[in-house]
Chain A
Amino acid sequence: MSLEKYESVIGLEVHVQLKTKSKIFCACPAEFGAEPNSQTCPICLGLPGSLPVLNEQALYYAIKVGLALNCTISGRLKFDRKNYFYPDLPKAYQISQYDMPVSHHGHLNIELKESKRKIGITRAHLEEDAGKLIHEGVKDGSLVDYNRCGTPLLEIVSEPDLRSPEEAYEYLTTLKAVLQYLDVSDCNMEKGSLRCDANVSIRLKGTEKLGTKAEIKNLNSFKAVAKAIQYEIERQAEMLESGNRIIQETRLWNDEKGQTFSMRSKEEAHDYRYFPEPDLVPFTISREKVEEVRKTLPELPQAREERIISSYKLSNYDAHVLVADKFLADYFEACIKEGADPKKVSNWLTTELFGLLNAKKETLETCKVSAKQLSKLIFLIDKQVISGKIAKEVLPIMVDTGKDPEDIVKEKGLVQLTDTKFIEDIAKKVIEANPKTVADFKAGKSQALGFLVGQLMKETKGKANPALANQILEKHLHAL
């Protein structure tokens, strides 16, 4: 079976928890207390007689996101009730937005290795989060904790414009970066402040009619999203190839097994019976207000990427990697401010430092090495105090201890040797000790030089300036 004849059509629904101080409709704290049900009040518990009042900061954040996603901000918006029964939903309805959301008709530009794509954003709307259910380890029942109930959520729905798992992955990283830059959410999928469901269907290439889609849930990381979509595409193709029809259904991703499974559906599709929320009045957003909010927008990832490319002459790829995380981009530019060379900073950050942090399961935020310190390491190389190779030994010590590079170099006696006379002496020793290699060199094998340089470096415990070593050895060899 060949997947080649099919085109995948993917849409993503992302729920983002907004990091306001208080919940969306009540004054309870929006972060999480340790004690179950301790961050609750009559309103978010849905007690009879309670009423909601909208947190203006949630609306402000929603407008910010809408603008950053190139959406039209609605001049008039309202809330609606989405009615269904579930123990984590105390009112048995969720206050959400149905036909007049806060923003709509936007797009997000994503960059892949070979292409750039414009992914449509259908809408982004506000709603309240539900509580949490605990099943595991509970005897004869499930437990309900309403602390999370009423946290403001922004639901961002993409058009079904994505065409591959890679694009979906890139969409999520790009979206996360935008939200991070706006500082409206922690965007942490593991902690649940960013959640994603995927709608996947396939169709024969060249056709326009959409295939039947499956909704995939229980995706707990961007990687899982990509893997689940890949699996689902293959599953659907197999179904069609063997003459079966795709059923419109909700499927859960099982990360351990690497498969999606159909949810045993007890009933037909939910009838949410949306109707306008009578307890909340409509909201109007003037053009002036929109422009006011627009002025508070920071430089967004795409603009920052373009600026980094033009100001620092980095490649598209390098710039793209740097802006994907705001903290990383800020760190990078802090190094530049110290005076370090952009290309060198980019390499040291993304190749060396990241490698070390990944191995230690650390992040840049928790890393002990400051931008200033990384810059200093680069300056030491620039000034030829140490070689690049030695620097690669210094960095891990910086990561472990947080010490300044100069102090480490001093303590460990790693200062590079540039004393020409000293190197000359060692060079002579090396030449004497390796007559066969010298002969090879004389015979025209130029790589023999490299071997001898290596021997010299070994003799000096790597501290000799490699360029100088190379130069001196070559001089002596030619003199023979």
Chain B
Amino acid sequence: MAQDLFRMTLKESQRYLSSKENFDLLVGSLSLRAKEIDPKVKAYLSFNPNGKNFSDKSPKPGQKLWGVPVSIKDNICTDGWETTCSSKILKGYIPPYDATVVRKLKENGAYLFAKCNMDEFAFGSSCESSAYHPSVNPWDLSRVPGGSSGGSAACVAADEAICSLGTDTGGSIRQPASLCGVVGMKPTYGRVSRFGLVAFGSSLDQIGPITKTVEDNAILLGAIAGYDPLDSTSVNIEVPDYTKALVKDAKGLKIGLPREYFVKGINSEVEAAVREVAKVYKQLGAEIKEISLPHSKYGIAVYYVVATAEASSNLARFDGVEYGYRYNTDDLLEMYVETRDQGFGQEAKRRILLGTFVLSAGYYDAYYLRAQKVRTLIKKDFENAFKEVDVILSPTSPTTAFKLGEKTDDPLSMYLSDIYTITVNLAGVPALSVPCGFDSKGLPIGFQLMGKYFDETTLYRSAYAYEQTMHWYEKKPKL
């Protein structure tokens, strides 16, 4: 029925989008939904200014996503369409080129629907540091959707998107996916091109799909993954058809539970939900064993040295010279310091200062070098664990969605939201967040599956098996 078109999954829309008429109906339905819902959820920053140019009347052969509307996190460059990273310093910045993932979507015939709100420059776990407005959780409008891809997760959960792209540097796809009850994948580092992604932590960043179902996620990743000669860190490994991995059993799968992740402080409902997940896997034929990731607890400390160091350097280019906001003055130094002080929010400044400090003369060895060495230890933890198991199971977030404003005064407590996701980026392995129920307040809980390098296939297989047993995706927020 026309009014339910916005509820479609990506898979369903692929089947539906056989003609331009159906495309118009779907986009019309989605646009109406966004018009109605987004004033409450505030997931979006802008809609496609060139939308009316979607002139392709019918799919070209080989186009997997013809007509499929995709919402895109606003740190991914779109040619001719304002890209702000939810910052004031990029207000009015119109990239003159498309990110590689955007080009790939276009090649596959996708329709770019809207730009999603985020924490400014991807710094955050709640979407509250956006310079424009915070996005909220569709399940409870007084709570955060998570971050930094808060908008990307919220719009999918609220059915004002069919699917979206987010980015993940320390958990920024998985944590909001978990808090919003949707599926989010951070691919292996190097799986998806970073060309056109406004860099935060260059050795950590990945673009990934956020979707309503595991199958949708597998389809979307297949469309954006692959080697890019413009990205020296992208890997020349063939992209498998991830949808072929989708079987409904977990026979023979070895799943590890890291003992360090189930210690005091974890929310009891979250812990219970994840232990239930393990039980379901057992029923599906998997083997559960306890493993150790001994250096887990150092993850956040390492991350806040390495990622902020890279960020401080990546954000230095925002100086008012070529693009974006500029404070007008006759003095060059004043132009720099005022442009940047006025253009950046508090969290961005915190990270820039921290990153600058840990790289500065006299402190490099004690902070940056040391953190890079501990990173090696964390990486080795995963390599060792994966000798024994195929995937690692854990909660995605230590809590369900917290209230708006709850953690904004204490940055460190905000950082600790990433405790389960962060080491994944430090090691570069892929990880997926999948809905596994709700807490007593009706807030979504998600579990995380971490996999071997370039083994997204096993992650999808595992996730699909669980999802098709429990069907959590059938429940929708009341909006």
Contact = CB atoms under 8 A, between A and B. Distances in A.
A and B touch in the complex (CB under 8 A): yes
A83 interface: yes
Interface string B209-247: 000000000000000000001111100000000000000
Interface stretch (B140-148, B174-182, B353-361, B439-447): B353-361
Contacts of A49: 76-77, 95, 99, 194-199
Contact of B90 (A48, A90, A273): A48
Contact of B230 (A51, A140, A144, A278): A51
Interface string B67-104: 00000000011000001010000100101110100000
B202 interface: yes
Most chain B CB within a 10 A radius of its CB, from A48, A50, A85: A48
Interface string A269-282: 00101110011110
B194 A51 contact: yes
A274 B330 CA distance: 30
A93 B313 contact: yes
B313 A83 contact: yes
Interface stretch (A39-47, A181-189, A190-198, A235-243): A39-47
Contacts of A463: none
Q: Which size class do B's interface residues fall under? A: 35 or more
A81 interface: yes
Contact of A52 (B232, B322, B361): B232
A85 B202 CA distance: 20
B310 interface: yes
B319 A271 contact: no
Given A42-B97, A45-B322, A140-B330, A51 B232 contact: yes
Given A48-B95, A280-B232, A85 B195 contact: no
A50 B85 CA distance: 15
Most chain B CB within a 10 A radius of its CB, from A42, A49, A144, A280: A49
A91 interface: yes
B323 interface: yes
A285 interface: no
B232 A48 contact: no
Contacts of B196: 49-50
Given A48-B199, A271-B360, A279-B202, A266 B333 contact: yes
A140 B317 CA distance: 23
Contacts of B77: 47-49
Interface in A234-284: 266, 271, 273-275, 278-281
A78 B229 CA distance: 19
Contact of A281 (B83, B229, B233, B321): B233
Nearest to A53: B232
A91 B316 contact: yes
A51 B194 CA distance: 8
Contacts of A342: none
A49 B233 CA distance: 13
Interface string B335-379: 010000000000000000000100111001000100000000000
Interface string B187-214: 0000000111111001100000000000
A87 interface: yes
Contacts of B197: 49
B361 A271 contact: yes
Interface string A49-66: 111111000000000000
A92 interface: yes
Q: Is the interface of B mostly helix, strand, loop or mixed?
A: loop
A411 B54 CA distance: 78
A53 B229 contact: yes
Contacts of A140: 330
Contacts of A281: 232-233
Contact of B310 (A47, A50, A51, A278): A278
A38 to B, nearest CB: 14
B332 interface: yes
B183 interface: no
B384 to A, nearest CB: 24
B319 A275 contact: no
A275 B364 contact: yes
Given A42-B96, A279-B232, A90 B194 contact: no
Contacts of A47: 77, 95-97, 322-323
A6 to B, nearest CB: 32
Contacts of B318: 48
A91 B233 CA distance: 19
Contact of A275 (B85, B316, B323, B359): B359
Contacts of A90: 317, 321-322
B317 A46 contact: yes
Contact of B309 (A46, A85, A275): A275
B332 A87 contact: yes
Contacts of A42: 96-97
B232 A54 contact: yes
Contacts of A274: 359
Nearest to A273: B359
Contact of B319 (A85, A266, A278): A85
B230 A92 contact: no
A93 B93 CA distance: 21
A283 to B, nearest CB: 11
Nearest to B97: A42
A213 B187 CA distance: 52
B317 A275 contact: no
B192 to A, nearest CB: 13
Given A42-B97, A52-B232, A92 B317 contact: yes
B356 A273 contact: yes
Contacts of B93: 48
A275 B333 CA distance: 25
Given A47-B96, A53-B229, 18 more contacts: A45-B322, A46-B317, A47-B97, A48-B95, A48-B198, A49-B77, A49-B99, A51-B232, A51-B233, A52-B232, A53-B230, A83-B359, A85-B336, A90-B322, A92-B313, A92-B317, A271-B360, A273-B356
5 contacts: A49-B197, A51-B195, A271-B361, A273-B313, A279-B202
Which 10 residue pairs are nearest across A and B when measured between Cβ atoms?
A: A92-B316, A278-B202, A273-B359, A278-B203, A48-B198, A49-B196, A49-B77, A271-B361, A91-B317, A92-B317
